[in-house]
Amino acid sequence: PRQLIWPPAWSELSEVRAQLFRNQAQAYYDAAKPREAVRALVVAYRFDPSDYATGRLLAHFYETTSPATADDFYARLMREHPARSAETARVWMRSLLARGRLEALAGLARQQIADDREYTVVWLNALIFAANHHHRPDWLEESARDAAVPAPARRLLALAAQVEQAAPGQVAGLLQPTAADAQFAYGLIYRIDQLTRRGFPEHGLTLIAKYRGAIGGRDEAGLVLAGIARTGDEARLAKEFGYMLAPGRPLSAAEFSLLGLQLIRYPNRALLNQVAAAMSRIKDEANQPQVEAL
C-alpha cells in the first residue's frame, strides 16, 4: 500500500513487483516446477534488470534449456555489473566447460588472463586446454603478445604455442625449464604434464624429483601417478595406490578425487575396484567435496 498511495515511493514499485515474482519463482522451484520458476524469474528481471542475483540465476537455468540465451545473460551481466565481472566470468567459465564450448571459453580466458589477476593461473590453464583441443596455437600467441598479461604467463603461452607446433623430437628439449621458469609453479606443472602426455614420462618424473616441493600437494601427486602410469610400471603404481588406500589411514575426498581422475585418464580395473571399495570412507566429508569425489 505504501508504494501505491505515497507518490515519493512510486519509484519503488518496479522493485516491489520484481520481488513478488522472485518469491513466486522460489515457490515454483520448491514445488519442482522449473519452467514456471524460469517464467517468473524472467518477469522479475524485466521489472528489475539491475538485480544481479536474478540475472545470474536465469543464466544458470538457461544453461541446459537454451545455452545461447545463457551465454547472452552472462555477457550482459559482465557488461552491466563491471564490479562483479570477475565473479561472473568464473561462473561462466565453468558453464562453458560443462557444455564443451571451448572456443567461447578461449575468448573469455584471453580477456580474463589480463583482467583477473587473482585467477591468472586458472585462465591460463583454460586457454591452453582450449587451444590444444582445437589445435589453435595462434590463440596462445595472441595472448603472449598482450602486454597486459603477466610476464610469466606470457612466456608460458609462447612456449605452449611452440610445443603445439613442434616436431615430436623437439618437444622434450623445449619443455626443459630454466632456473627462472622454476619460480612459476604452474609453468612446471605444464611442462611435466606435457612431457608425460607426449611420451616422455621419465623426463617428467625427473623434473618432479628435481623440483620437489615447488609444486606440492594434489598437483604433484597427480603428476607422479600419471608419470608412473605412462611408464607402464604397474607394480609401482599399485604401491602408490596401496599407500593412499591403506586401511586405517584417513582418506580425504580430495585424495579420492585425485585417484578417480587418474583412473579416468589411465584406466585400471584392479585399482578401480580398490578405490570403489574405499568409497564409504569419505562419508563424513563436507557435501561439496564428497559430491566431487563421487
pLDDT (tens digit per residue) in 150-196: 999 999 999 999 999 999 999 999 999 988 888 899 999 999 999 99
Q: Radius of gyration of the chain from Cα atoms?
A: 24
Nearest one of 265, 125, 266 to 190, comparing CA atoms: 125
> Is the pTM for the entire model greater than 0.85?
no
Average pLDDT (227-240) is 96
Tell me which residue of 184, 181, 232, 178 sits closest to 205, measured CA to CA.
232
What does the pLDDT read at residue 218? 87
Band of the pLDDT at 23, cuts 50, 70, 90?
Answer: confident
At 41 the pLDDT is 80
pLDDT for 32: 80
Q: What is each CA distance from 71 to 46, 61, 125, 150, 191, in whole angstroms? A: 18, 11, 21, 27, 33
Percent of the chain with pLDDT over 70: 94
Kindly tell me if the per-residue pLDDT of 22 is higher than 80: no
Query: Average pLDDT, stretch 112-125?
Result: 94
CA-nearest of 183, 65, 170, 186 to 122 is 186
Q: Is the pLDDT of residue 147 over 80?
A: yes
Range 223-235 average pLDDT: 96
- Across residues 196-212, what is the average pLDDT? 94
If we measure between CA atoms, which residue out of 169, 116, 148, 170 comes closest to residue 159? 170
Read off the pLDDT of each residue in 215-244 and give the average, rounded to a whole number: 94
Average pLDDT (6-19) is 63
pLDDT digits (tens, 9 = 90+) for 248-275: 888 899 999 999 999 999 999 999 999 9
The CA distance from 276 to 282, in Å, is 11
Burial (CB < 10 A; 0-12, 13-18, 19+), residue 17, is: middle
Residue 7 scores a pLDDT above 70: no
How many Å from the N-terminal Cα to the C-terminal Cα in the chain?
51
Question: Could you tell me the pLDDT band of residue 39, with boundaries at 50, 70 and 90?
Answer: confident
Is the model's pLDDT at 30 over the cut of 90? no
**Higher per-residue pLDDT: 35 or 210:** 210
pLDDT at 174: 95
Identify whether the C-beta of residue 13 lies closer than 8 Å to the C-beta of residue 3: yes
| Residue in the block written with cell 610469466 | 152
**How many other CB atoms are there within 10 angstroms of residue 22's CB atom?**
21
Q: What is the pLDDT of residue 261?
A: 94
